[in-house]
Structure 1
Amino acid sequence: MEVKLWNDKREREMYENFAELYAIIKATEKLEKAYIRDIIPSSEYETECQKLIAHFKTLASTLKDIVPSIERFADTYKMDCPAAINRLVTSGVPATVEPGCCSCLSNYLGCHCGRVHPLLSDLSASLNKLSILPPDFEGKTKMKEWISRLSKMGAADELTEQQARQLHFDLESSYNSFMAALPSAGT
Structure 2
Amino acid sequence: MTTPISLDEEVRLYSTNAERDKYNTLATLYGIIVALDYLERAYVRDSITAAEYSPACTRLLSQYKTMLKLVGADVTSIDDFMKRYRMDNPAALHRIKVGVPATVEHSSEAGPETGKWIAETTQSFITFMDGLRLRMRAKDQLHPMLQELVTGYARFKGSKDWEGRSRMVSWLITLNGMKASEELTEEQSRQLIFDVEHAYAEFFRSLGGEKDNVS
The TM-score, its normalising length taken from structure 1, stands at 0.54
Query: CA-atom RMSD, angstroms?
Result: 2.9
1:91 corresponding residue in structure 2: 98
Q: Secondary structure at the match of 1:64?
A: helix
Structure 2 gaps of 5+ residues are 1-8, 125-145, 152-215
How far does residue 2 in structure 1 lie from its aligned partner after superposition? 4.6
Which TM-score applies when normalising by structure 2? 0.47
Q: How do residues 22-171 of structure 1 correspond to structure 2 at under 5 angstroms?
A: 22-88=30-96, 90-99=97-106, 129=117, 131-132=119-120, 136=147
Q: Distance in 2 between matches of 1:6 and 1:94?
A: 36
Taking structure 1 as reference, are residues 52 and 131 closer, same or farther at Cα in structure 2, changes over 3 Å only?
closer
Q: Kindly state the Cα deviation for residue 82 of structure 1 after the two structures are TM-superposed.
A: 1.1
SS of 1:65's equivalent?
Answer: helix
Q: Distance in 2 between matches of 1:49 and 1:60?
A: 16
Shift of 1:23: 0.5
Give, in whole Å, the separation in 2 of the partners of 1:2 and 1:130: 46
Q: Which runs of 4+ in 1 moved over 2 A?
A: 1-5, 128-131, 133-137
Q: CA shift at 1:130, angstroms?
A: 5.9
Q: Alpha-carbon deviations, 1:71-125, whole Å to 9, x = none?
A: 111011110111101112x11111112247xx99xxxxxxxxxxxxxxxxxxxx8
**Residue in structure 2 matched with residue 17 of structure 1 by the alignment:** 25
Decide whether aligned partners of structure 1 residues 78 and 54 sit closer, same or farther in structure 2, where only a CA change above 3 A counts: same
1:111 equivalent in structure 2: none
Residues 41 and 64 from structure 1, CA distance in 2 versus in 1: closer, same or farther, beyond 3 angstroms? same
- Check 1:76–1:12 CA distance in 2 against 1; reply closer, same or farther (3 A cut): same
Higher relative CO (Cα under 8 Å, sequence separation at least 6) belongs to 1
Name the larger-Rg structure: 1
Aligned length: 116
Equivalent-residue separation in structure 2 for 1:2 and 1:24 (angstroms): 26
CA distance in 2: counterparts of 1:68 and 1:51, whole angstroms: 22
- Structure 1 residue 4, shift from structure 2 partner: 2.4
